[in-house]
Structure 1
Amino acid sequence: MGAGFLRVTSTDLGGTRGGFSLSRSLLTCAALLMAATLVSGCGSWFGKKQDAGEVAAPDVIYGRADAMLDQQSYESAAKQYEEVDINHPYSQEARRAIVMAAYAYYKAGKYDDAVSSADRYLTLHPGTPESDLAQNIIGMSYYVQVLDPKRDQTNARKALQAYQTLVQRYPESRYAAEAQNRARILRDLLAASEMQVGRFYLRHNNFLAAINRFKVVVTDYQTTAQVEEALGRLTEAYTALGIIPEAQTAAAVLGYNYPDSKWYKSSYALLQKYGSRPQMNEGSWITKTWKGDGKPA
């Protein structure tokens, strides 16, 4: 088509010079038109790119996250809540978005992410209305991972700490009652775990190791159902080692608090066998822990 265009202009004007001049003019015009088209197209292209890169308003992103949460798309919801904080950190939605991300991660079973988000909320916004919720999410995230007393109890200890913190810092929180109840369950579980290991050591005549485990129960978990047996086991272990004053004290505290206990009866009989009886001794760590009258300190 280029050759035809030159031929036409050349014939019409009857000379090479005129034909060349006209061709150059037309080519210039064509180039200008093409450039204008390209500029227009590029402007349109850049405009589309800019539109595609626009960030939605914080309430819009937050609304998407809420919708995903309602649809039980928990992990996607968590990521959308995080987008609010990432793109609009100073918006009024950003603060609550952090704790909602923690909740969504918890519902998704992403417990490490839930704890991380909740911790971040408490670091950035301590004392705000959702602080108790963030603390409760931490407790729940560890609590659901608690296993039986025979397993490692790291998560149980972390859950207990989280719930104790909740009750201490937010005693009026709507989550406080459940936190107290779960804390009791966790103390029993942790005490049972210590007893499990202590019994193992006792069966293998590793009396010092057994005493250390029973001591944890008597010292840290005095209100649990496990403490009764722990005092009886301490009487047994100390007697086996010939440390009679400690055995006497353990039995005396046991008799004062649980006089009808089978563990007290067996402890009393054991001491009698060695010509002794239950008695409080001032120098005993058990006396210091449970005070002089045998009650928990």
Structure 2
Amino acid sequence: MQKKLSSVVATCVVLALSACSWLPEKTDESKNVPVTKLYAEAREEMAGGHYEAAIKLWERLETNYPFGNYANQAQMEIAYAHYKSGDQAQALAAADRFIREHPTHPQVDYMYYLRGLISFNDQIGLISQLYKQDPTERDPKATRESFAAFKVLVDRYPNSKYAPDAIERMRYLTTAMAKYEVHVANYYYRRGAYLASLNRAMNAVSDYPDAPAREEALYLMIRNYDKMGMTELRNDTVRVFNANYPNSKFTRAGGNNESWWKFWSRSDK
């Protein structure tokens, strides 16, 4: 009986396999779509703001046609589509992938520019937000990453059509980073952490000498030196401050009531 059952099972298996061989193979219809059609469809989705649909089409194009200009363009478009859809992590990953795989591509300068834009948009509004939250809770990582990407673009491709805009954005980022340092310095000063405040103010002065926030940073250095009893360093900083900002809003009459200001202000006359 056991042998008979085994024979029946074996026969069924053979029949099943034979039936499968008669069935037509399942094919991926998208593989037969011409590259120009996939490209046109993806561009149409992009133009309509349907970025998720566009990304799928770009990925399909790259999979079906992995070599040549269309594949390279698809990679760039994927990064841009993620950027437009607000997916920062995927956008950065896609841009980095292109830069890594195509370091000599004629349009790699654009990918550095896009990388800067991705991080730049993450920190837009930093200055306006500083006074709405604890500054130590705000990570300026995106600001630094954006600046670094733009700097690579400007240094390596000074003649790129994206370089002028990158330079302008770098100026803005420098202002933002300096203001962040000063805001943190103020945060520590208000809490009596004068050494920590001094260090952040000094960072702003040394790292961002051309930023508008340098004025307030020097002013904070004076206040911290005074609080810590470092009279000589305070007076040296006062002389630098007065030479650079003789009409500073931070030291105008009525702008500050601390006795130490009156003391060292008189000592310089």
Q: Smaller-chain TM-score range? A: 0.7 to 0.9
Residues 248-295 of structure 1: per-residue CA shift (max 9 Å, x gap): 3322222232232244677xx8477269956xxxxxxxxxxxxxxxxx
Which residue type is aligned with residue 248 of structure 1?
N
Q: Which residue of 1 aligns with 2:9?
A: none
C-alpha separation between the residues in 2 aligned to 1:100 and 1:167? 22
Q: Say if 1:78 and 1:50 are closer, same or farther in 2 by CA, change over 3 A.
A: closer
- Partners of 2:235 and 2:264 within 8 A in 1: no
Mark the runs of 5 or more structure 1 residues left unpaired by the alignment: 1-37, 279-297
Residue 185 in structure 1 maps to residue 194 in structure 2: no
Which residue type is aligned with residue 58 of structure 2?
Y
Name the SS of the counterpart of 2:192 in structure 1: coil
- Partners of 2:112 and 2:149 within 8 A in 1: yes
Name the SS of the counterpart of 1:187 in structure 2: helix
Moved more, 209-218 or 184-193: 184-193
- Partners of 1:188 and 1:226 within 8 A in 2: yes
C-alpha separation between the residues in 2 aligned to 1:53 and 1:181? 44
% same residue: 29
Q: Alpha carbon RMSD of aligned pairs, Å? A: 2.8
Q: Which residue of 1 aligns with 2:5?
A: none
Residue 238 in structure 1 maps to residue 225 in structure 2: yes
C-alpha separation between the residues in 2 aligned to 1:275 and 1:64? 70
Instruction: Return the structure number with greater relative CO, CA threshold 8 A, min gap 6.
Output: 2
C-alpha separation between the residues in 2 aligned to 1:53 and 1:142? 35
Structural mapping, 1:113-132, within 5 Å = 113-132=90-109
2:84 to 107, 111, 135: 107
C-alpha separation between the residues in 2 aligned to 1:242 and 1:251? 14
Mark the runs of 5 or more structure 2 residues left unpaired by the alignment: 1-17
The Cα shift of 1:87 comes to 2.9
- Partners of 1:251 and 1:264 within 8 A in 2: no
Which residue type is aligned with residue 130 of structure 1?
Q
Name the SS of the counterpart of 1:46 in structure 2: coil
- Partners of 1:102 and 1:115 within 8 A in 2: yes
The Cα shift of 1:154 comes to 2.0
Q: Which residue of 1 aligns with 2:235?
A: 248
1:95 to 44, 55, 72: 72
Name the SS of the counterpart of 2:24 in structure 1: helix
Moved more, 189-198 or 223-232: 189-198
C-alpha separation between the residues in 1 aligned to 2:62 and 2:53? 15
2:148 to 157, 161, 177: 161
Q: Which residue of 2 aligns with 1:133?
A: 110
Residue 260 in structure 1 maps to residue 250 in structure 2: no
The Cα shift of 1:117 comes to 0.7
Q: Which residue of 1 aligns with 2:158?
A: 171
Residue 273 in structure 1 maps to residue 250 in structure 2: no
Would you say how many aligned residue pairs link Structure 1 and Structure 2?
238
